[in-house]
Amino acid sequence: MASKRAQLAAWSTLVADTGELAAIRALTPVDATTNPSLLLSVAKQDTQSALLADARHLARQIGPTEDLALRCDAFATLTGQTILELIPGLVSTEVDARLSFDTRATVERARGLMALYRELGVDTDRVLIKIAATWEGIRAAEILEQEGIRCNLTLVFSLEQALAAAQRCATLISPFVGRIYDWYVKRGMQVDTAEQDPGVISVRTIFHTLKGLGLDTIVMGASFRNQGQIEALAGCDRLTISPALLEGLEQDTGPLTRHLDPADITLLPEQIPMDEATFRWALNDNPMACELLADGIRRFARDQEALEALLQASD
């Protein structure tokens, strides 16, 4: 029998959740996603000294030599360029998480990332700009999508975030599984099967709702803790998976069942648009989503700062 990875790939586009070039080269995924944490891990490797030097050089060509934000974006786009040489599909590059509550600044930073990609000669149709799914981030994505810049709304922990992004024509959303699972387990929930997993249930609900409403936004399950969570979402549009779990799927030749299929979904009645007040109240009224969104932004912001420090020290 074919590996579970091969079976899964028949229903879902597989995306490597890593910036590790060796892993991407070995695993040959369709797409790849990056974030400040993954980029920091790449930058710390001794083998990436040339990439760090190239980032400094590219940043100096564009703007002030002391602009660490620009240098970080140069490193991100150079990494993205290298990844795109190894895969046939898309790469996601994230906007600085410290801008998550500033629509205008997020839009400007996203435009800057795309300008850097164009400077490198990269086909920008193969790039998704990754933005935290705050209200301000979703509004920024709406503006960018209207300009032809496709977006990936990340740190999605609730149906309301997914709906708000999809109603504003975001190309893709990344609802998280593992962090939701962690949150509930930490508070005493017993999760014995994937069917009981609150992270799996969340992504399934988002998938069924968006497809039932006829919304075109791609649903990409993310943040997996174990292979069972991935298998329980077989059929989701895309799944972004760590190298270790992709390897596990490759080695497993057991049978796999499809759990998500748009063809099986009944159309839903039109829902009330997710406006700002509705969105903010729903997020405030969901302790899990509210806490995890804030925590995710803080984590990415700290890693962005660490990346800036590393790039500054490399002078």
How much is the pTM? 0.95
Question: What pLDDT, on a 0 to 100 scale, did the predictor assign at position 19?
Answer: 84
pLDDT digits (tens, 9 = 90+) for 135-183: 999 999 999 999 999 999 999 999 999 999 999 999 999 999 999 999 9
Question: What pLDDT, on a 0 to 100 scale, did the predictor assign at position 50?
Answer: 82
Interval 225-236 mean pLDDT: 98
Question: What pLDDT, on a 0 to 100 scale, did the predictor assign at position 66?
Answer: 66
Q: Give the side-chain half-sphere CA count within 13 A for 56.
A: 15
From CA 175, how far away is CA 181, in angstroms rounded? 12
What are residue 91's phi and psi, to 5 degrees?
Answer: -125, 140
Sorted by where each starts, the structural domains of the chain and their CATH numbers stand as 4-313 (3.20.20.70)
Question: What pLDDT, on a 0 to 100 scale, did the predictor assign at position 162?
Answer: 98
Catalytic hit among 4, 44, 130, 186:
130
pLDDT class for 315, splitting at 50, 70, 90? low
Indicate if the pLDDT at residue 269 is higher than 70. yes
What are residue 272's phi and psi, to 5 degrees?
Answer: -65, 130
Question: What pLDDT, on a 0 to 100 scale, did the predictor assign at position 224?
Answer: 97
Q: Active site includes 4?
A: no
Question: What pLDDT, on a 0 to 100 scale, did the predictor assign at position 65?
Answer: 60
CB-count exposure of residue 183 (10 Å: 0-12, 13-18, 19+): buried
Question: What pLDDT, on a 0 to 100 scale, did the predictor assign at position 310?
Answer: 86
pLDDT digits (tens, 9 = 90+) for 32-60: 999 999 998 888 886 677 887 888 888 88
Question: What pLDDT, on a 0 to 100 scale, did the predictor assign at position 267?
Answer: 85
Question: What pLDDT, on a 0 to 100 scale, did the predictor assign at position 240?
Answer: 97
Question: What pLDDT, on a 0 to 100 scale, did the predictor assign at position 298?
Answer: 98
Of all residues in the chain, the percent with pLDDT exceeding 70 is 97
Q: What single string gives the DSSP state of each residue in 206-251?
A: HHHHHHHTT--PEEEEB--SSHHHHHTTTTSSEEEE-HHHHHHHHH
From CA 187, how far away is CA 191, in angstroms rounded? 12
CB-count exposure of residue 116 (10 Å: 0-12, 13-18, 19+): buried
Q: Give the side-chain half-sphere CA count within 13 A for 5.
A: 20
Q: What single string gives the DSSP state of each residue in 253-303?
A: -S-------GGGPPPPPPPPP--HHHHHHHHHT-HHHHHHHHHHHHHHHHH
